Amino acid sequence: MQEKATSQNYGTHGSSVVQDGSPAVTSPANEKRGSNEINVEEGVHSSQDSPPMLKFWTTFLSLCLLGISTSLESTIVPTALPTIVQTVGDIGGRYTWVGNAFFIASAVPQPSIGQLADVFGRRWPLIISTALFALGSGIAGGANNADMLIAGRTLQGLGAGGIFVLVDTVVCDLVPLQQRAKYLGLVRVSGAIGVPLGPVVGGALASANWRWCFYLTLVTSGLSLVFLVLFLDLKHEKSSWSVALGRLDYVGTIVFTGSMTALLLGLIMGGNEHPWSSAQVVVPIVIGIVGWAAFHIFESTAICREPMVPGYLFLNRTSAAGYFMAFDGALFIFWVTWFLQLYFQGILGVHPLTAGVYQLAFSLLLVPSGIIAGLVMGKTGKYRPQHLVGFGLLSIGIGLFTLLSKDTPAAAWAWFEIITALGLGVIMTAVLPAIQAALSEADIARSTAVYTFLRSVGGIWGVTIPSIVFNGQVNNYQDRISSTEIRQKLSNGQAYGFASMGGVQKLPDVLQDEVLGVYTDALKTVWQVGLAFALAGFLAALVVKQYDMSRKSESKFGLQERNDQMVDKETDVTLA
């Protein structure tokens, strides 16, 4: 029996029905091709209906600049954070909130931003998000106390959340479905600049003047803002302010924001600031889960006239599987990054900088493999084989990590990293086009917002789940350590920090062997649990159906044409 998912009529969006039952489904848009057909092979609009190519590439360059800005922030600031905190002073127990404020502020608003982009268009939400990111960078760079620093980081997070959603959304508006993975991969290239350069630049700026860690992103985001104002000229169906504001899902936004904030707070504090069994952790997590369930129930009722996250996004089995794969892939980016560091520093006993070098085989191959996946998808119009290859390679790589020990040759663990990175890179670019192929073009912003949010949440679970497993196994194996003092230093979640500070290598030989044995076996369990999640992603890929990706782009938010300014004298909203 074929499954169906209906894109209902919300606001100005039309209705469409997508069937998820045959290997290749042709959308109605493919059946009627006129003179203004999309040139799918070239990935751009035909000359009969598109603005000059210069406008496309200047717009695309603006999006790439934003990718550079956010990638620099995500790699420079963590490297320099210890120096920053020491210099600002009077931060006490709020140290972790310099990072956590950014994460929560960027993740929680993302679904709301998708709806704002549908109601007010893409241009102004993206410009405002970029301005917030730049403002936050300036405030954090000029901070002279902890409150000012955290406030700046929060504003940076709010801006980054909008950027994460809207950059992908605008790319999907500009190019046809079959070419989206290729262009998303090109945007990822700009973001990848910060991966190898960020830690080096962050370390250098921390030694010279840490404020330039933020002033640098202020410069790059400020330049992006100028480009967006000058070149981001997108279509938008305008309406009066009363109509536009009436389309927003206020109740859903409040419930979602409150529940997600509570859930993320619990996950962040668990095992760090408070034990997992404490009320400070359990209560927020329970409130968050209950609130999240209540949010989705509300979104599916008739009371909610225009849902922020429509239920039909998850009713189609292809889009639902795609969302799980997006979450699962993001899970492993952090899972691998954090626990390879533990292996290198805790078991091999190398310096943190050397550990970063050892991990380059993983970090540098993520984006190139994603670009290749995008190019292949652009040529073949097939995404399902790439999902299977991506999660297949990921499963093999994670499975090989279970073999790691202190005697593993460098050539072996380097190849383990390469296999894992190749799989993850494919997943990074091949999932979103599959989700959008199963839905209508009217759902680009909302489907992208949910995709981005699940990736953000997947990141924190990618630290939380393996941390719980690792700490639990260390506690289980503690009887193998003869020193009571060392057992206490490793208990209750302290084992990761003990390894990262070089504590293992400072122990006498006998104790060192005992601790290394505990670490090795605990890490093996971490990778075994990770293998289960990787195989779950592979099973999800089996559920995905292949849709016809050559359909005509029907986005109402493409590049503006000068002969069609869409001016309505009776309206008072001008947000093209």
Its CATH architecture, for the domain 314-545, is Up-down Bundle (1.20)
Query: pLDDT (tens digit, 0 to 9) for every residue of the chain, 576 residues total?
Result: 334 333 333 333 333 333 343 333 333 333 333 333 334 334 444 333 344 577 788 888 888 888 888 877 776 776 677 677 777 766 655 666 777 888 889 999 999 999 998 888 888 999 999 999 999 999 998 988 888 888 999 999 999 999 999 998 988 888 888 888 888 878 877 766 666 566 666 667 666 778 888 888 898 889 889 888 888 877 777 777 888 888 889 999 999 999 999 998 888 887 777 777 889 889 999 999 999 999 999 998 888 888 999 988 999 999 999 999 999 999 998 899 888 888 888 888 887 777 778 888 888 888 888 888 888 988 898 999 999 999 999 999 999 999 999 899 999 999 999 999 999 989 988 999 999 999 988 888 899 999 999 998 888 888 888 988 888 888 888 888 888 888 888 877 777 777 766 677 777 878 888 888 888 999 999 999 999 999 999 999 999 999 988 776 666 665 665 544 333 333 334 334
Compute the distance between CA of residue 239 and CA of residue 177 in angstroms, rounded to an integer.
28
- What pLDDT was estimated at residue 501? 66
The pLDDT, as a whole number, for residue 176 is: 85
Query: Domain segments of the chain: what residues?
Result: 45-241, 249-305, 314-545
CATH classification of 45-241 is 1.50.10.10, yes or no?
Answer: no
Q: What is the pLDDT of residue 22?
A: 37
- Scan for tokens 């209705």, then name that residue: 15
Question: Residue 558, by phi and psi: left (phi above 0), alpha (psi -120 to 50) or beta?
Answer: beta
Distance CA(225)–CA(237), nearest Å, equals 23
The yes-or-no answer to whether 45-241 and 314-545 have a common fold is: yes
Q: How far apart are CA 559 and CA 10, in angstroms?
A: 23
CB 139 within 8 A of CB 90: no
Q: List, as one string, the DSSP characters of 451-504.
A: HHHHHHHHHHHHHHHHHHHHHHHHHHTGGG---HHHHHHHTTTTHHHHHHTTTG
Contacts of 497 (CB under 8 A, 6+ apart): none
Q: What is the pLDDT of residue 59?
A: 82
Rounded-to-integer distance, Cα 24 and Cα 27, Å: 10
Q: What is the pTM of this model?
A: 0.80
3-state secondary structure of 330: helix
**Burial code of 101-115, b = ≥16 C-beta within 10 A, e = fewer?**
bbbbbbbbbbbbbbb
Supply the pLDDT for residue 95.
64
Q: Are 163 and 129 in contact (CB under 8 A)?
A: yes
Q: How far apart are CA 219 and CA 58, in angstroms?
A: 18
